[in-house]
Chain A
Amino acid sequence: MIKQTPLYNEHVSLDGKIVDFAGWQMPVNYGSQIAEHHAVRTAAGMFDVSHMTVIDVEGPAALAFLQRVMANDCAKLDVADVLYGALLNPQGGVIDDLTVYRLPSAYRCVVNASTRDKVLDWFARQQMANMTFAEQPLAIIAVQGPEAVVLASRALQLPELVQLKPFTAMLQDERLIGRTGYTGEDGVELIVPAEQSQLLWRDLLALGVQPVGLGARDTLRLEAGLNLYGQDLDEQTSPLASRIGWTIAWEPEERDFIGRSAVAAQRGAHPQKLTGLIMHEKGVLRHGQVVRTDAGEGVITSGSFSPTLGCSIALARLPKAASGACQVDIRGKLKAAKIVQPPFVRHGKILVE
């Protein structure tokens, strides 16, 4: 069954080009993906990400449950803090990546749309006594860009929002507002009751916030060096080969999270790394293309055209020792590219050459 978010009619009335994404009818762009991308880097854009799955974990054992299933440690969270982390399988592969918000009486997990069923199934299999979890029918609007926080504070009539620190959140009645995002720009993500989302969307639109589709969401996150589950992260690949080793909380040593022994054995010894590529030649780097380096072969996990750089960039899983020049096989032709450290762009500034 194809699903629609509470904002579906807004997308249609804005001439959004609707595509199927993980079973949801979502806007891929509203005209030009590149123009939407630039709006987020230079001003403010908003994304309907209500297709993402919100799961609240509650009860006296909620923290113990999250400390078992997550490689990052939710004990670090004070009320209103936000944490990014991964769910690992016993082999140390990544089941999903997610953000966790600590609410006064629950932990709120926001997981990917494409992984909804398997995460709910995984949570059910790991369920403990004295805790429950339930999917929440909420809408999510991400407002991102250098002007995003100011404009969101106006739309919400919440002046205090501009003081909110990165990776923290605040509640305004039933609205949860996190200073978080997936673009490499400043911004907020607004998790709100579905029935409030249309008015909020229209208020943001009236303030000049540009609607942005899933197409630009992908090029923005790629420039920011942020992973996409299913491309840069999967169940067969270690977080240590995916640039998210920093989200594994090794301390306290006695915390026995699922996958711990598997990733502990690879610690400091994984033969691969996830890194960046930039190509100044004409053409576009894509998922699955083979990369040849002095240290051996690797593969592109995510690639696209970078609207900010005006050339193609990629994330690639390469031998750990690889650096400098490399070649990418694009439809049988070898093209010169360069290995660089992501992110490519942050806060509107280009960070690579």
Chain B
Amino acid sequence: MSDFPTDLKYLATHEWARLEEDGSVTVGITDHAQNALGDVVYVELPEIDQAVTAGDEAGVVESVKAASDVYAPVTGTVIAVNDALDDEPEKVNQDAFGDGWFFKLSPADPGELEDLLDAEAYQEVCEEEDH
């Protein structure tokens, strides 16, 4: 069974977003997503200082099986990327909500996070997809 941590916000396209204490937003793909993709072998991350818009493509995750776009959950500027995924993309499979994070944003409007799905609503999206 996949995990659905309640302290995160979600996109229906299977990204998670966490508002950190310093006001930044950390982004990754969900446990459900890594499970569906299978072994992750390559992650294409955005550039630092790159401006991203909510709902737009900000990276790509490739498993053995397929390539999948990663979308920005909120509008903002990229302030950090998880370079460790370059050598160890399998971290996405092993710890999707922790060491497998993709990038951090400085959000233009932190209020945008409120528009995202909560854990319960996201879990429903996943269950519908599975049927």
Interfacial chain B residues near A284, Cβ < 8 Å:
41-42, 62, 64, 67
CB of B8 closer than 8 Å to a CB of A: no
**Could you give, for residues 43-71 of chain B, a 1 whenever the CB lies within 8 Å of some chain A CB and a 0 otherwise?**
01000000000000000101011010000
Interface bin, chain A = 10 to 19
**Distance of A73 from chain B, by nearest CB (Å):** 38
Bound complex: CA A331 to CA B57 (Å): 12
**Distance of B57 from chain A, by nearest CB (Å):** 9
Q: Contacting B65 at CB < 8 Å: which of A215, A282, A283?
A: A215
**Could you give, for residues 61-88 of chain B, a 1 whenever the CB lies within 8 Å of some chain A CB and a 0 otherwise?**
0101101000000000000000000100
Judge whether B42 and A28 touch: CB under 8 Å. Answer: no
Judge whether B38 and A305 touch: CB under 8 Å. Answer: no
CB of B118 closer than 8 Å to a CB of A: no
B residues contacting the other copy or chain, number (CB 8 A) = 12
Interfacial chain A residues near B64, Cβ < 8 Å:
33-34, 215, 219, 284, 304-305, 307
Chain A interface mostly helix, strand, loop or mixed? mixed
CB of B39 closer than 8 Å to a CB of A: yes
Q: Which residue of chain A lies nearest to B57 when distances are taken between CB atoms in the complex?
A: A331
Judge whether B39 and A32 touch: CB under 8 Å. Answer: yes
Known: A283-B62, A305-B62, A331-B60. A33 touches B38 (CB 8 A): yes
Bound complex: CA A331 to CA B42 (Å): 14
Binding site for A on B (CB under 8 A): 35, 38-39, 41-42, 44, 60, 62, 64-65, 67, 86
- 9 CB contacts below 8 A, A to B, read A17-B35, A32-B38, A33-B39, A33-B64, A215-B64, A283-B42, A305-B42, A331-B60, A331-B67
Given contacts A33-B39, A282-B44, A304-B64, 20 further A-B contacts (CB under 8 A): A17-B38, A28-B38, A29-B38, A33-B38, A215-B38, A215-B64, A215-B65, A282-B86, A283-B44, A283-B62, A284-B41, A284-B42, A284-B64, A284-B67, A286-B67, A305-B41, A305-B42, A305-B62, A305-B64, A331-B60
